[in-house]
Amino acid sequence: MKAWPLVLLVGLFASLPAHAFRCGTKLVHEGDTRSEVIAKCGEPAEIDQRTILRRPVFWIRGRPFHVGDALVDVSVEVWVYNLGPHKLMRRVRFEDGLVVEIETLGYGYRGG
């Protein structure tokens, strides 16, 4: 009879999106903006900025469409969140200001 809270908890974690992570009580999702991530998680421990060249992509109904053969500059930022020594760190990749990838890294460290 006391197992139902455990089943409820497992179901809750199973329902979380695969490409999201929790900052306190808030969730960061793919598609969030930089300002939304800062509002949810604060400043990251590390930021790496660069520019890549690629064909322009337009998304229509969830499908990518490439337009032309010309290459355009796309700004890329990779943020690392150190959530402390008892939690896993997260790497968040932004392209043109939107979250496109969230990776789970090893355990964090003190002082981050």
Q: Which residue has the higher pLDDT, 77 or 83?
A: 77
Supply the pTM of this predicted model: 0.74
- pLDDT on residue 24: 84
Instruction: Summarize the confidence of residues 102-106 as an average pLDDT.
Output: 93
What residue ranges in 26-97 does DSSP mark as E strands? 26-29, 46-54, 57-60, 63-66, 72-81, 88-95
- pLDDT on residue 76: 95
Q: For residue range 26-72, what is the model confidence (pLDDT) as tens digits?
A: 999 998 999 999 999 999 999 999 999 988 888 788 787 888 888 98
Percent of the chain's residues with pLDDT above 70: 82
CB atoms within 10 A of CB 62: 5
Percent of the chain's residues with pLDDT above 90: 51
Q: What angle do CA 60, 61, 62 make, to 5 degrees?
A: 90
Beta-sheet pairing, 20-23 with 26-29: antiparallel
